[in-house]
Chain A
Amino acid sequence: MKQKIRVLIAKPGLDGHDRGAKVIARALRDAGMEVIYTGLRQTPEMIATAALQEDVDAVGLSILSGAHMTLVPRVLELLKANGQGELCVFVGGIIPDEDARLLRDMGIKAVYGPGTPTSQVIADLQQILQPA
């Protein structure tokens, strides 16, 4: 059985706009990945627990509330505490360039703004996660 890429798509925080998260989930599914979708209003703790129990290869966080500079570091901290500090974490949403730079410095692999083609997200994940 071929190894499958498993990705957790989560929406931390309080905003209720999950269209983007669902579009990404569907696109990754169509690219042959197994996508664990958690739904809205997840706490960073819930996301870290899900990442651990599902043994995912990547975590995608969709944030449109502006709280990314609070939520993302907290998720990273919890993943690390659980022994999953090496996971590929990417962020999608409305993120100002300056913040995107800071997030990348924290270890976020990619930050995707509105209008990003789903093919780019797929290609990036395949490149990062598939052994050369």
Chain B
Amino acid sequence: MKDVASQIRQGNRLALSCLLTWIENENPEGRAALDELFALTGRAFIIGITGPSGSGKSTLVNRLAIQLTGSPQTPQSVAVLAIDPSSPFSGGAILGDRVRMRDLMEHPEIFVRSAATRGALGGLARAASEMVLALEAGGFDFVLVETVGAGQSEVDIACLAHTTLVVEAPGLGDDIQAAKAGILEIADILVVNKADKNGADTAARSLAAMLEIGADAAGLNREEQVTWKVPVLKTSALNDEGIDELVAAIRQHRTYLETSGEWQRRSQIRLDDLFERLLREKLFAEWKRNIQNRKYEQILGEIHTRKISPYQALKQFRA
């Protein structure tokens, strides 16, 4: 495809789609197109949706995306990046988020792209950050990023999104689960989905109690007041309940971000993160090219046979 960057600027969706593939494949043409488009990025509102498998993230995204398009007279555009895991054995993947997003297929303002993790472990696809840049260049007002089913430590989404929703469902754990570090801590908004099921109130209460303790502890440690109080909302994506309230909370969080300076800070963290990753990859590749032929493999071999420890191996490379 020729001159992808200018076609994307003109709103060509096939060109955008093609660029996303190039980015995933780390194709140099993709990087060149992003060079041209980079100045157009930084305007979209990026919303992360994470939480355990089966909590209803995809179904919720289906409702949320439609709600965010707003009034048909002045619709807003929404891109969805839906991530599912790659097989660690074959490298293949089944990307099934579209099954729950069928309402989005016939909506002209909504663009859905599925991506496989391709070896990344933090809950996102390897190239998620760059794919979001491409979607921003495509002119979308909102970019929703749905992570893989996340357990406790897949927290990368918090460095990419402006607003992170953590979606839980009733019956997934008691209050000690709620007290553990990790995914719950990154929530800007906590959602108890499947509120039509038994136990939703209990789940919402124990999450709210956990947040209370957290807020107290933060007050002890910091001088400034915590100005955003994480709301706990109940939704039933299946029955389309609680979605208006969720959208209202998302809009409130955006106002908070903009008035507190957090918007800018989070937008920068994301770019810092991306640059650091690219730099690390580049330096490692260059370094590896410059060391003696086979030395890397030799030293790995010595570690395998327990001749030297990994720390001793590091010293051998210092020179």
Interface residue ranges, A against B (CB under 8 Å): 1-4, 6, 25-26, 28-39, 42-43, 45-46, 49-50, 52-55, 82-84
Contact = CB atoms under 8 A, between A and B. Distances in A.
A54 to B, nearest CB: 6
A29 B92 contact: yes
Contacts of B26: 1
B13 A55 contact: no
B25 A1 contact: yes
Contacts of A39: 96, 98-99, 102
Interface string B54-98: 000000000000000000000000000000001100111111101
B126 interface: yes
Contacts of B87: 29-30
Given A39-B102, A46-B105, A53-B111, A32 B21 contact: no
26 contacts: A1-B24, A3-B25, A4-B118, A25-B94, A29-B90, A29-B92, A29-B93, A30-B92, A32-B90, A34-B116, A35-B92, A37-B96, A37-B98, A37-B99, A39-B98, A39-B99, A42-B105, A45-B105, A46-B102, A46-B105, A50-B98, A52-B13, A52-B17, A53-B111, A54-B114, A55-B17
B172 interface: no
Contacts of B159: none
B95 to A, nearest CB: 5
A55 B18 contact: yes
Contact of A29 (B25, B94, B102, B113): B94
A55 B93 contact: no
Contact of B106 (A6, A46, A52): A46
Given A49-B106, A53-B112, A33 B24 contact: no
Contacts of A45: 105-106
Contacts of B17: 52-55
Contacts of A32: 90-92
A86 to B, nearest CB: 12
A118 to B, nearest CB: 13
Given A35-B95, A39-B99, A55-B17, A1 B118 contact: yes
Interface string B99-128: 100100110000111101010000000100
Interface string B17-48: 11011001110000000000000000000000
Q: Which residue of B20, B93, B111, B126 has the most chain A CB atoms within 10 A of its CB atom?
A: B93
A35 B91 CA distance: 11
A49 B113 CA distance: 11
A33 B98 CA distance: 17
Contacts of A46: 102, 105-106
Contact of B98 (A28, A29, A36, A43): A36
B92 A49 contact: no
Nearest to B1: A83
Return the 7 tightest CB-CB contacts between A and B, nearest first.
A39-B99, A29-B92, A46-B105, A55-B17, A1-B26, A55-B21, A32-B92
B298 to A, nearest CB: 26
A37 B95 contact: yes
Contact of B14 (A1, A25, A29, A83): A83
A17 to B, nearest CB: 16
Nearest to A30: B90
Contacts of B113: 53-54
Instruction: Give the residue among A28, A37, A83 with the most B Cβ atoms within 10 A.
Output: A37
